[in-house]
Amino acid sequence: MDLVSDQEFLIKRNNNTYEVVIGLEVHAQVISNSKLFSTSSTKFGAEPNTQVSLVDAAFPGMLPVINEFCVKQAIKTGIGLKAKINKKSVFDRKNYFYADLPQGYQISQYKYPIVGEGNVILDMPSGQKEIGIERLHLEQDAGKSIHDIDPNNTFVDLNRSGVALMEIVSKPDLRSPDEVNLYIKKLRSIMRYLGTCDGNMQEGSLRADVNVSVRKKGETNFGTRCEIKNVNSIKFMQMAIIYEANRQVDLIEDGKSIDQETRLFDTKKNETRSMRSKEDAHDYRYFPDPDLLPLEISDKFIQDIQTDIPELPDEKKKRFIDKFKLSPYEANILVSDIETSKYFEAVIKEADVKLATNWITGELFAVLNDKNLEISDSPISANNLAKLINLIKDGTISGKIAKTVFEQMVDTNENPQKIVQERGLQQQSDPKALEELIDKVIENNADKVSQYKSGKDKLFGFFVGQVMKESKGKGNPQLINKILKEKLNG
């Protein structure tokens, strides 16, 4: 869980205070076995140019045919963003020349996107904040130009050419790097719940163009914005925003104006650089692709997708809070990743909710973090964790012993019952046996007993510790407490 400051992100210069206005254009790769307009595979990491059809390479006379599954995925995502689904949308050609763009144009949606306005809820410490979604449209990805293999030539890999992307455009509602972090994570969470984008930023499945402008606090008009192209990690987005916002503030403070332009973020130097100015901006000559008819979607088509929508993070969180009495904080942690929520729900099917929450967010997360593992690769299955919790709950082992068992489970993923049995770790809960141990401790520490009786209450802990030691850590702490109190106070 990210620690988010509730403080406003403001930049102060001289006597002026500026706020930052951010809008994101997120490019999310659609989960689909084949490309948006061809049947080639979309599998990541294949040998260059092995997943390229004649359509992807734009051979003469080749025509695009829309992949219905990708359309469904876009609609699904739109529903997840609580957005309007447009029953008629149009594919346009965005014309420009580049070596990794075989058609000489990208098929995208310009005037009539498949999904219209929606929103995403961010959980801020001070409460919820709604970020508006302007639109979502489908488009093709380009190929990849590789400049560093040969000093004189550029190599082109078309495996990615034609892969379906959803461009999700936010309204300029974001005000800080923290909000951007939460927004991206929430978007990713929703798409993973829906199975429409895996959100893997290392593999480039999720990247964003970041629009940044600044204005004096209290001002209602927007400042001139700059667009930082193609940033592929949240950390870089945040760094780029901080750099860019400060650069713009400096310009304003120096009495200069900001040029509307496209910039690149240099991750090594941690700065943004001008890529092209508005004057040099491409004229993409958008026009409806005459090879494709307008995309018309029936109500039935949308309804069928609707029935296929799983419980999404916001609803799940609400259910966790209402039904399991989790705190909003706990619920957030457990729902933000779909796999975590699945794990949690599997554990609580068989075990106590409160203990499950604590063990998952405490011990388990620590181990996963330490080993750099996803919860889906957890060394401890949900089933075994539930068993462990039940052993605590029914008093077979203490919480302390449970930690020992847990450690062994991490290494072996064994059934905790088996570990407890084999190692004889059952809790000592026989009052008579405990009484014997307690008597022994009292006998051996007569001086401490009299000190305790004369008012040194703090010594109680010492006695508990001694009895625990005598029981080799297996004594039932509640029982020990109870009997000790009776004996010492009696």
Partner 1 sequence: MSNITNQTLSELIKNIKSKKISSTEVTKAFVERSEKSKKLNAYITDNFSSAIKKAKNFDEKPNFELKLPGIPIAVKDLFCTNGVKTTAGSKILNNFIPSYESTVTQNILDQGGILMGKLNCDEFAMGSSNETSFFGNVQNPIKENLVPGGSSGGSSSAVAANLTPVTIGTDTGGSIRQPASFTGTVGLKPTYGSCSRYGIVAFASSLDQAGPISKNVKDASILLEVISSFDKKDSTSIEFKRNQYSEELTNNIKGKKIGIPKEYRVEGMPQEIEDLWRKGIEYVKECGAEIIDISLPHTNYALPTYYIVAPAEASSNLARYDGVKYGFRSPGENLIDMYEKTRSEGFGEEVKRRIMIGTYVLSSGYYDAYYLKAQKVRQLIKKDFDEAYTKVDAILTPSTPSSAFKIGEKTNDPVSMYLNDIFTVPVNLAGLPGISIPAGTDQKGYPLGLQIIGKPFDEQTILNIAYSMEEKIGFKNQITDWWI
Complex with partner 1: residue 97 or 455, whichever CB lies closer: 97
Residue 286 CB, nearest approach to partner 1 (Å): 8
By CB under 8 A, residue 264 contacts partner 1: no
Integer Cα distance of 217 and 155 in angstroms = 48
Complex with partner 1: residue 63 or 309, whichever CB lies closer: 63
Complex with partner 1: residue 145 or 412, whichever CB lies closer: 145
From the centroid of its chain, how far is CA 410?
24
By CB under 8 A, residue 102 contacts partner 1: yes
Q: According to CB under 8 A, which one of 28, 57, 226, 464 is a site residue for partner 1? A: 57
Residue 143 CB, nearest approach to partner 1 (Å): 10
Q: According to CB under 8 A, which one of 32, 42, 103, 176 is a site residue for partner 1? A: 103
By CB under 8 A, residue 472 contacts partner 1: no
Complex with partner 1: residue 295 or 467, whichever CB lies closer: 295
Q: How far is CA 75 from CA 82, 102, 140, 298, in A?
A: 10, 28, 16, 12
Integer Cα distance of 47 and 368 in angstroms = 32
Integer Cα distance of 312 and 335 in angstroms = 9
Integer Cα distance of 209 and 202 in angstroms = 16
Q: According to CB under 8 A, which one of 10, 87, 259, 287 is a site residue for partner 1? A: 287
CB atoms within 10 A of CB 354: 15
Residue 48 CB, nearest approach to partner 1 (Å): 14
Stretch that binds partner 1, among 91-99, 207-215, 310-318, 363-371 (CB under 8 A): 91-99
By CB under 8 A, residue 154 contacts partner 1: yes
Task: Give me the amino acid identity at 251.
Answer: L
- Structure tokens belonging to residue 360: 């998952």
Residue 56 CB, nearest approach to partner 1 (Å): 10
Integer Cα distance of 409 and 199 in angstroms = 31
By CB under 8 A, residue 297 contacts partner 1: no
E strands, 72-114, are 88-89, 92-95, 105-108
Complex with partner 1: residue 102 or 177, whichever CB lies closer: 102
Residue 227 CB, nearest approach to partner 1 (Å): 17
Complex with partner 1: residue 95 or 383, whichever CB lies closer: 95
CB atoms within 10 A of CB 8: 11
Complex with partner 1: residue 10 or 99, whichever CB lies closer: 99
CB 335 within 8 A of CB 188: no
Stretch that binds partner 1, among 52-60, 82-90, 220-228, 353-361 (CB under 8 A): 52-60
By CB under 8 A, residue 478 contacts partner 1: no
Q: According to CB under 8 A, which one of 97, 127, 221, 457 is a site residue for partner 1? A: 97
Integer Cα distance of 64 and 55 in angstroms = 7
Complex with partner 1: residue 65 or 433, whichever CB lies closer: 65
Residue 151: exposed, middle, or buried by beta-carbon count in 10 A (0-12, 13-18, 19+)? exposed
Integer Cα distance of 128 and 4 in angstroms = 13
Residue with tokens 């929430």: 186
Task: Give me the amino acid identity at 173.
Answer: D
Size of the site for partner 1 (CB under 8 A): 30
By CB under 8 A, residue 61 contacts partner 1: yes
- Label the pairing between strands 271-277 and 261-266: antiparallel
Stretch that binds partner 1, among 58-66, 243-251, 389-397, 427-435 (CB under 8 A): 58-66
Contacts of 121 (CB under 8 A, 6+ apart): 128, 129, 130, 131, 186, 314
Length of the chain: 490
Residue 100 CB, nearest approach to partner 1 (Å): 9
Complex with partner 1: residue 93 or 215, whichever CB lies closer: 93
Complex with partner 1: residue 98 or 222, whichever CB lies closer: 98
By CB under 8 A, residue 95 contacts partner 1: yes
By CB under 8 A, residue 259 contacts partner 1: no
By CB under 8 A, residue 142 contacts partner 1: no
Integer Cα distance of 489 and 361 in angstroms = 39
By CB under 8 A, residue 66 contacts partner 1: yes
Integer Cα distance of 326 and 329 in angstroms = 8
CA atoms within 13 A of residue 128's CA, in its CB half-sphere: 12
**Coil/strand/helix, residue 165:** strand
CA 396, 401, 403, 406 dihedral sign is negative
Q: According to CB under 8 A, which one of 63, 309, 366, 433 is a site residue for partner 1? A: 63
By CB under 8 A, residue 10 contacts partner 1: no
By CB under 8 A, residue 279 contacts partner 1: no
Binding site for partner 1 (CB under 8 A): 54, 57-66, 93, 95, 97-99, 102-105, 154, 156, 283, 285-287, 290-293
